[in-house]
Structure 1
Amino acid sequence: MEIVKVPFGKFNGQPVTKFILVNDNGVQVGILDFAGLLQSFKVPTKDGGLADMVLTSENLDEFTGNGFCTNRLIGRVAGRIANGEFKIDGQEYHVEQNEGQNTLHGGKNGFYNHIWHVDGTKLTDDAVSVTLSLTLTEEMDTFPGKMHVVATYTLDNNDNLSLQFSATSDADTLFNPTNHTYWNLSKAAAPTIDDLKLYVNSKDHLAVDDGKIPTGEKVANAGTPFDFSKPTKLADALKPMANTKENGFDDIWEVEPSLDEPVATLEDPESGRKMSLYSDRNGLVMYTMNSDDPTVYNHGEVHPHNGLAMEAQTLSDTPHHPEFGNVNLHPGEEKTCTIKWHVEY
């Protein structure tokens, strides 16, 4: 096990540091203190090299210069809040609307737009970790309450990378964080995720309006392109989506929460690489990077469907749909949640 600490450019004039976690199998994970960003997830290849399983760059400006939250931590609330308003125990709150009338990913000054404090690193015989923390006030991100959030990434010798969040607040607020990493397990020369196979432990997805806000209706996946109950080639699922406004997926699946059985798996039949995703919450937002915007990149390459974001969280817009779950955080309470990725190669 090993931890390597290296400089990784500057954000708003402040130095950014990358922490490289290495296990005894040669798996390497790069974590930035900027946005808690998962900058790389490298696994050994059969020819003795290393392959990155996520979209990445060695240039911080390519992460900060795009609007796709690439590989960053997201919060206080992942996804969208309709009209930037919600109630907690009858009290109404209004927060910044940064996508039309809606609030997206905690507003423009959420988790993803800060350098986090490095609380420390830990190295044992079986695991290596880095712990980051951030304190946000209402003046910083418009959400009520002074929130303190801690995020710990841990890589172990079973090739699991886990991410545990915990948060407290001095006033009623919301907490539904995620990690916004884009995955592509195929060889570097492959321009899209078309040949990858996706499985999702889900029977339903959420109907949404034109602003991608859930209507409250759950739609059966069976018989639709949203059905990944068996490993499905993404090209086959994306083809019928080509004529939609999105030209792909930007949608919300209801999943069976579990840290023991995968919520989803993504695999590349050609290389044998596979990623299994675990989550203790009931939602999975997936975005197939449908744009050819030049800020969508992988080592400078630009292609629609270049990567797949798999955002584990509680189902979106829960303040307006309490049947989806409870993301309220009250004073004197601590909430935790965990995302885990297991890689095979």
Structure 2
Amino acid sequence: MRRLFCAVLLVAAVPAGATGIAVQPYGTTPDGAPVEKVTLTNDRGMTLAYIDYGATIVAAAAADRTGARRNVVLDLPDLAAYQRSTRKWGAIIGRYAGRIGGARYTLDGKTVQLQPNLRGLTIHGGPPGYEQRVWQRRDFADRASIGSVYTLVSPDGDQSFPGKLTLHVTYRLLRASDEFRIEYEAVTDAPTVVNFTNHAYFNLAGAGSHGLATHRFQFDADRYAVTDANRVPTGELASVAGTPLDFRRPASAAARLQAPSALLGDPPGFDHSLVFTKGPGQLARVAVIDDAASGIRMEIATTEPSAQFYTANAFDGKEVGSSGSAYQRYDGFAFETQHLPDSPNQPSFPSTVLRPGEVFRSITSLRFTRP
């Protein structure tokens, strides 16, 4: 049975005009649904912003070495741009983040047929994606934090998955430190599989900066998921030792992208599932990323067992951020904490099964400092 992670969700209804929470209109979807933007500001001056469409993070302003604030989340200029895009910028992904081979899995002796793409597999749950929906939101303020709880009810058969799923996602900005948390809680009324993540892209030199040459990455991950030609896991978890995926000591991803490697492909790019060394369900630091240009450090802690590390290999300059800069290949990175892709078809992987009466809980924390 899947290990269910424990987290305490303590929220209080936010009073009108509460300090640190600003809400403004962000547009209207074609079917008439209003979308708002929430901007949180903590006691230190860090801001975190997100919109109701896709429960999408659109900005996080971290302090650089001079104390000036830089937005480190790659964003788009308006709601229409998010609706046109297929890159899922900063959105919540579900019902199942990552790939499911053959667009099907078997649970309790029953085969569940999902919606295949052109390669015959399902990616990020299939259409309609959670990133394309307007979520319900409740803002809150408590002694230690401010934020919002987003709720999405996914009916039985949604994306062809069984079971009515109720998902709560909390964005929580701590008042006294430059840290925000993403907290997930889900229940179902029928056996199903779940895997959630946030699809934000980062550049610690600032959104709109080009390349990752000034970044150094360190991950507490000693294995990776071996995949087939469609990037679906084979079931083997191999050692990172001696491969470009070994970031157990700080290293430059940009430098490794310049060296020929069958593992990184042609053109080269990181798009791999890394398995953490920490214990199951333990909230622990799993990644440290430093940027020499800005002096910003990002530390990531999670209860999840793995993450997808991606270096924006498919960016092609066709989408432009609010900074006015077109996003090119390698202009950002994603570190999507989650369970492993294709887990429903891989018995040796940590289970992603959720059953009635169980509660799925997960936390990912992102903390910004200046080392």
TM-score by length of 1: 0.94
| 2:258 counterpart SS class | helix
Is the counterpart of residue 275 in structure 1 residue 298 in structure 2? yes
Task: Please give the residue correspondences for 1:23-38 in structure 2 after superposition, counting only pairs within 5 Å.
Answer: 23-38=42-57
> Counterpart of 2:361?
336
Is the counterpart of residue 301 in structure 1 residue 326 in structure 2? yes
Q: Residues of 2 paired with 1:296 and 1:222: CA distance?
A: 36
AA at the equivalent of 1:256 = T
| 2:348 counterpart SS class | helix
CA contact (8 A) 1:206 1:253 kept: yes
Per-residue CA deviations over 1:21-60 (Å, capped at 9, x if unaligned) read 1110000000211111111001234556420111113312
Is the counterpart of residue 130 in structure 1 residue 148 in structure 2? yes
2:116 to 78, 89, 97: 97
Q: Residues of 2 paired with 1:115 and 1:163: CA distance?
A: 18
2:346 to 321, 329, 332: 321
Is the counterpart of residue 11 in structure 1 residue 29 in structure 2? yes
Q: What's the CA shift for 1:270? A: 2.5
Q: Residues of 2 paired with 1:189 and 1:254: CA distance?
A: 30
C-alpha RMSD of matched pairs (Å): 1.9
Q: Residues of 2 paired with 1:111 and 1:292: CA distance?
A: 22
AA at the equivalent of 1:27 = M
Q: What's the CA shift for 1:207? A: 0.9
Per-residue CA deviations over 1:70-100 (Å, capped at 9, x if unaligned) read 1110011110001111111111111111352
Per-residue CA deviations over 1:169-227 (Å, capped at 9, x if unaligned) read 11111111001110100145631122201111011111101110001112221111111
Change (3 A) 1:160 1:302: closer
| 1:115 counterpart SS class | coil
> Counterpart of 2:77?
58
AA at the equivalent of 2:136 = H
> Counterpart of 1:115?
134
Which structure 2 segments of 5+ residues have no match?
Answer: 1-18
Question: Structure with the greater relative contact order (CA < 8 A, sep ≥ 6): 1 or 2?
Answer: 2
Q: Residues of 1 paired with 2:200 and 2:55: CA distance?
A: 11
Q: Residues of 1 paired with 2:83 and 2:317: CA distance?
A: 13
AA at the equivalent of 2:21 = I
Q: Residues of 2 paired with 1:51 and 1:115: CA distance?
A: 27
Q: Residues of 1 paired with 2:278 and 2:198: CA distance?
A: 16
Q: What's the CA shift for 1:250? A: 1.0
Q: Residues of 1 paired with 2:121 and 2:206: CA distance?
A: 37
CA contact (8 A) 2:52 2:135 kept: yes
CA contact (8 A) 2:197 2:338 kept: yes
Task: Please give the residue correspondences for 1:212-227 in structure 2 after superposition, counting only pairs within 5 Å.
Answer: 212-227=231-246
AA at the equivalent of 2:123 = L
Q: What's the CA shift for 1:257? A: 4.3
| 2:257 counterpart SS class | helix
> Counterpart of 2:41?
22
Q: Residues of 2 paired with 1:189 and 1:36: CA distance?
A: 22
CA contact (8 A) 2:222 2:276 kept: yes
2:254 to 222, 228, 235: 235
CA contact (8 A) 2:77 2:320 kept: no
Is the counterpart of residue 284 in structure 1 residue 314 in structure 2? no
Change (3 A) 1:29 1:189: closer
User: Which of 51-60 and 254-263 deviates more?
Assistant: 254-263
Which structure 1 segments of 5+ residues have no match?
Answer: none
> Counterpart of 1:149?
167
AA at the equivalent of 2:28 = K
CA contact (8 A) 2:63 2:369 kept: no
Change (3 A) 1:296 1:267: farther
Q: What's the CA shift for 1:240? A: 2.2
Q: Residues of 2 paired with 1:31 and 1:201: CA distance?
A: 29
CA contact (8 A) 1:225 1:241 kept: no
> Counterpart of 1:312?
337
AA at the equivalent of 1:234 = A
> Counterpart of 1:263?
286
Change (3 A) 1:61 1:334: same
CA contact (8 A) 2:74 2:208 kept: no
User: Which of 144-153 and 213-222 deviates more?
Assistant: 213-222
| 2:221 counterpart SS class | coil
Q: Residues of 2 paired with 1:203 and 1:230: CA distance?
A: 11
AA at the equivalent of 1:282 = P
Q: Residues of 1 paired with 2:260 and 2:111: CA distance?
A: 38
Q: Residues of 1 paired with 2:243 and 2:251: CA distance?
A: 12
User: Which of 259-268 and 193-202 deviates more?
Assistant: 259-268
Q: Residues of 1 paired with 2:270 and 2:297: CA distance?
A: 21
CA contact (8 A) 1:242 1:248 kept: no
TM-score by length of 2: 0.88
2:92 to 63, 66, 73: 73
Is the counterpart of residue 174 in structure 1 residue 193 in structure 2? yes
